[in-house]
Amino acid sequence: MLLTQWRRARPFGASCLVAAAGVEILLVPVAGVGLVVNGGVGGYAGFLVGVFLIAMGAGLCWGGPRDVIAVLVVMAALAAFVLTNLGGLLLGSLMAIVGAAWGFAWTPPVIRA
């Protein structure tokens, strides 16, 4: 019951989606899939963008300024699309953009007296 109240008081689903996108972008360059090249800028950028998205997902969940975080997540997702093997085979960038939009649109629940 306490966890349910905590989850409803913040954009929990959006933060989980952004963090999952970060994990996906982080793991695709090192997964050893035959399509993905793991060298150069893609390897380092995948690591940096993935860790950044995981941190932004946590920041979104812990009550940071969700508007600023959502804009940063969209910019990181677009950068991941260019830098990291099409943003984790397009799925990671798409998940990050949807999670950022969801977090941006979220409003705190109204407390009725």
Query: Which pLDDT band holds residue 32 (cuts at 50, 70, 90)?
Result: low
Nearest in space to 74 (alpha carbons), one of 51, 53, 43: 53
Residues 6+ apart with CB under 8 A from 14: 60, 99, 100, 102, 103, 106
pLDDT at 64 over 60: yes
Q: Residue count of the chain, please give it.
A: 113
Span 83-95, mean pLDDT? 82
The answer, yes or no, to whether residue 42 has pLDDT greater than 80, is no
Residue with more model confidence, 43 or 90:
90
- pTM equals 0.85
| Residue 41 pLDDT > 70 | no
Q: Residue 25: left if φ>0, alpha if ψ -120 to 50, beta else—which one? A: alpha
Q: What confidence score (pLDDT) does residue 58 get?
A: 93
Residue 15 has pLDDT above 90, yes or no: yes
